Chain A
């Protein structure tokens, strides 16, 4: 029998992990909702940004917040680059080609990272106080990451609902042709969206590197998980993705304590398959 305290600790960790997963899922969902293309290599962009933070902070000795800002900036630039160089030429192609092109990017990023930085695990060490809650040790890094990811999501929500360009982004995701009739150049809206999506990847990277070591195949664990969350929440459905993130992170954290981390992912997948049996349109879809 597993100590209930372990389970409680796992549940807390799952909750904290859920924040970052939600951030990733929202970034991916935003891009899909507007441009109608899934960036298979999304989490690999996060990996590149994690290296950026590592180099800025650990190697060059800048404070962590500088690393975070660099990561956000780099993420936005990468987002723009991906859209301009890869997505723009294939916007009208068949879905399989679109998936493959961003899949090729995944290959490229993983191997190029291997080439540049080898497969060593690298981490950013922050000296943070330890915190205990009801005898449970709680990682302050995770707590900060969770709080910041919630804040960023709130910011994204306000951006999408309160600003003019944010509203335009939502309008494009509902009907891009109608938005062209309003005078919006779709390409410009796509660029803004890609930059925002990339910047979110940068934020996630800064929040991940203070908890996990980065290596070229970092995306392998978080990528499929993010995809499952997006499908579970309903692709393009922001609220659904948010809820799904916490379901999946709890499943992984708790079964990870009972069995192993890898088994955690397997169980999460089983839950995922069961969920699409039960709620095919995403967890928040109305049954019709």
Chain B
């Protein structure tokens, strides 16, 4: 009961946020919140795959394809981002299917899958840089201004419009997450996550599910990319493609916990708050320092909070309340451990140092 009331209150606060008196901080706060909504949506999209053991380190590819397609169609052909976005999503989905099909058909799993997707993300970044006549190369390109507010161009001077847009997008993302979670696909995919051959023998079409969930995740990520590009009205290969942004997405999700609906959002909010804080703290002095600390914290979080903030907090609560602890069934342990192609005999892992 208490949780529900708190949820309603929080939602009301979120809805009213743009109108709360915040003095000179309003613009900035709204800016940060819009980013949190959009990146939470993207993080949620990533977790659709991630929770089934499909660890993608290349979601930047889908982000970049979505953002650039829409922006270039608008800049060069004046195609409204509403239609451009559709084209972008379709293109990204097709691209994801082309990559996902061989990966799932031939059981490219675990570390292999991560490396393949990582390469995908970098290659899209390089492609954007290579096509510099269109894309502006590594300098990026601005979304051509429509001259004033325009629904057709999705350009508004007032950030509050984007705020509600991003909020709606985030809620839609949560809805999709819940739908996938509840649907038939869930149990099937979980079976796959746990045991590839067992799932196949139950008669689940492994390839179809994997490609399906990848395409869905990629399409949603592309939408997130479009939204981000429209909001910032500038696209750049380093912020929208490549390994950097891909890792940030994954980090946020793992930090928050990928097995719960709100985990990715919590993680995204925290990482964005963190990087904003570091950015403000260092400003233009000490270039690279903010990122250095970010990287260091990332490593420390992974080492000391392996179950993510949410998971670790839950374990702690259980410990305090003395309730049953699911030691072996923690979310981090549900993933498949087959890092190798079939046929390779994988002996059971031995704990380091002490084989206990």
Contacts and interface: CB of A to CB of B under 8 A. Distances in A.
Direct contact of A and B (CB under 8 A): yes
Interface of A: 32, 36-38, 40, 86, 88-97, 99-101, 103-116, 118, 175-178, 180, 185-187, 190, 216, 220, 223-225, 227-228, 230-231, 234-236, 259-260, 262-263, 265-266, 269, 272-273, 276-277, 280-282, 285, 288
Interface string B108-140: 101110111011111100110110000000000
Nearest to B344: A236
A163 to B, nearest CB: 23
Contacts of A40: 57, 118
B251 interface: yes
Contacts of A178: 347
Q: Is the interface of B mostly helix, strand, loop or mixed?
A: helix
Contact of B130 (A110, A263, A281, A282): A263
Contacts of B352: 88, 91-92, 186-187, 190
Nearest to A104: B298
A96 B347 contact: no
29 contacts: A36-B349, A40-B118, A95-B55, A95-B110, A97-B332, A101-B303, A103-B243, A104-B302, A107-B295, A111-B288, A111-B289, A111-B290, A115-B286, A115-B288, A176-B347, A176-B349, A224-B123, A227-B115, A228-B116, A230-B115, A231-B116, A236-B340, A259-B130, A260-B130, A262-B126, A262-B129, A266-B130, A269-B120, A281-B106
Given A106-B243, A113-B288, A263-B130, A99 B108 contact: no
B241 to A, nearest CB: 11
Contacts, number: 211
Nearest to B341: A281
Interface of B: 50, 55, 57, 98-99, 102-103, 105-108, 110-112, 114-116, 118-123, 126-127, 129-130, 242-244, 247, 250-251, 254, 286-292, 294-299, 302-303, 306, 332-333, 335, 337, 339-341, 343-345, 347-353, 355
Contacts of A288: 343
A231 B115 contact: yes
B123 A107 contact: no
Given A111-B288, A118-B287, A186-B353, A265 B126 contact: yes
Nearest to B138: A262
A59 B251 CA distance: 38
Contacts of A32: 111
Contact of A220 (B116, B122, B294, B355): B122
B289 A101 contact: no
Nearest to B120: A269
